[in-house]
Amino acid sequence: MILMMEDYVKTAYRDIKNRKKRSWLTMIGIIIGVAAVVSLVSLGQGLKDGMNAEFDKMGAEIIMIMPGSGFQSMGSAGSSLTKDDVEVIKKVRGVNLAGGFLTKIAKVEFGNEMKYSWVSGLPLDESKEIIDNMDSHNIENGRDLKRGDTYKTMVGNTVANGDFFKKKVRAGDYVMINGKKFRVVGTLERIGNPDDDQAFMIPLETARDLFDEPDNLMVIMANIKPGFDASDVAENIKKAMRKDRDQEKGEEDFSVQTAEQLKETVASILNLVQAVLIGIAGISLLVGGIGIMNTMYTSVLERTRDIGVMKAIGARNVNIMWIFLIESGIIGMTGGAIGCAIGISISKSIEYLSSAQLGVNYLKASVAPELIIGALSFSFLVGMLSGTLPAMRAARLKPTDALRYE
């Protein structure tokens, strides 16, 4: 008895159809596992793509200098950047412009409401060009901050649209920041980051007085001259700052990173988080695999006489094995297909909610064909592997014993 692959599939499909309820229950673990993996991978890839797009806006020529070891240490005690650091950086070979900014949480008031939000002090000298070139904010109404401004502010899109205070804040209105009166000169287009969209931008020197920070900066940014390599200039900045601070290599209380290095750092963090979450989701696949194995063992017992008949008319052990392997593989792949559909729906729903409700534009679901093909192939493989032991047991049955089985 020689069976072709088409016969194996038809036989498997018929047997699955005859046990619909059990087959659906068996697929649940695979469906949950694949749905979780697909949604997490698609969101993770979409987030990485969004972050890469944001870093691309910065440009490869941007270098960021931060206190401590990086983002985690910004504003930490015992580690700070100062106006003197800006002057040191400006003198480094290859640096075109350098400037810093200061950001803190402050009390903001408008009308009869009082809330807390981020307030950023931005430089108004030539170094403002660095921030402008990054395209981090665009004016929607009014104007940008300019030289000579003191108690003036620009407000984020959420503030301007009335989603922060009950009333909309327009150019020409006045707001109180830490008890000081500021005139709104402009409103910003939506950036996509909730914190940025409800932020207030004021002149750096005014922020120094407001926060009683006459010297400190949160971040210093520099761009490089044409023809210079960003990594080489970053290393030169490190050397100059170590010399100015009288520090040895490896003892720095600051961090210098290029846009490319920042991109790699963020990508590695996202990959690690994604790997952990996928590992947790993989437990559902393991449970699903065990469920398939249990179902296939039951199927072998129920079809023992059928196996005996097939062997009696010429079916070989390999034919019996393939029947059960294909059946378990189809159960796995069917669960995988349903899981893919659910996973894509989840990721797209999160993308919509983050954009429509939270205003986060960089959290997008990236569903590549490779992801779907990989998920289906993997679920089929899990199904076949789970059905291996039951298939081997079925193949080893002796025709005489199988025919006598009650």
Q: What is the pLDDT, as a whole number, of residue 76?
A: 47
| 141 vs 7: CA distance, rounded Å | 69
Buried b (16+ CB within 10 A) or exposed e, 65-82: bbbbebeebbeeeebbbb
Between the alpha carbon of residue 10 and those of residues 5, 314, 373, the distances in Å are 9, 19, 23
Q: pLDDT value at position 53? A: 73
Cα(14)–Cα(85) distance, integer angstroms: 75
pLDDT at 183: 95
3-state SS, residue 81: strand
CA distance 364 to 345: 12
Asked if residues 85 and 92 have their Cβ atoms less than 8 Å apart, the reply is no
Q: How many CB atoms lie within 10 A of CB 91?
A: 10
Confidence at residue 361, expressed as pLDDT on a 0 to 100 scale: 64
| Domain ranges (residues) in the chain | 5-55+264-404, 80-252
Question: Taking all residues of the chain, what is their mean pLDDT, rounded to a whole number?
Answer: 83
Query: Which portions of the chain are predicted below pLDDT 50?
Result: 1-2, 72-77
- Token pair 């402050």 is found at 106
**β-pairing, 174-177 with 81-82?**
unpaired
pTM for this prediction:
0.68
Neighbours of 177 (CB within 10 A): 21
Q: How far is CA 44 from the centre of its chain?
A: 4
Identity of the residue numbered 163: D
The pLDDT assigned to 154 comes to: 94
Rama region for 360: left / alpha / beta (φ>0; ψ in -120 to 50; rest): beta
d(CA 261, CA 173): 41
pLDDT for res 155? 93
For residue 210, the model assigns a pLDDT of: 93
String of DSSP letters for 226-270? TT--HHHHHHHHHHHHHHHHT--TT--SEEEEEHHHHHHHHHHHH
pLDDT at 75: 47
